[in-house]
Amino acid sequence: MLSAELKELDATLDRLTSQSAKRLRNQFGVGPQTAAILIAVAGDNPERLRNEAALAALCGASPLQASSGKTARHRLNRGGDRSANNALWTIAMVRMRSEPRTQAYVTRRTAQGMSNKEIQRCLKRYIVRELYPLILADLSDAATIT
């Protein structure tokens, strides 16, 4: 019974995100759940989305300085919406496994001496930069429909 209900809810979420987040859903690695989370986070706070850096901070994907002495580095922002951060992580993992462009990026950054966590942090920021205009366009389309 629960499996049938879950399938029905997944189908409904797929249909709704395909209608209201078309541009976002067309991106590699963005599924119904991740699209719904990102649209919900952005839609709940439209006044805070002045630029893609604001969306990154809202999702907890903005870099924070963690430098000490002569060592210059950044760490993951632990603030922001954790579900949105998890959605970005999911997209990054899918892309790291399956997208040639992202795999080349990971190889290049690994050769530069970056750790896997640092690479993931950078990828999440790049993903926000790529998805920000699509999220805004989908939100404006949804606003004109309702």
Q: What is the pLDDT along the chain (146 residues), one digit of tens a residue?
A: 999 999 999 999 999 999 989 999 999 999 999 999 999 988 877 777 889 888 988 888 877 766 666 666 666 667 788 999 999 999 999 999 999 999 999 999 999 999 998 899 899 999 999 999 999 998 888 777 65
CA 121 to mean position of chain CA atoms: 11
Taking alpha carbons only, the member of 30, 8, 32 closest to residue 18 is 32
Number of domains in the chain: 1
Q: How many residues does the chain have?
A: 146
DSSP 71: B
Q: Domain containing 138: what range?
A: 2-145
pTM of the model: 0.85
Q: How many CB atoms lie within 10 A of CB 13?
A: 15
CA distances from 18 to 31, 35, 55 (A): 10, 9, 22
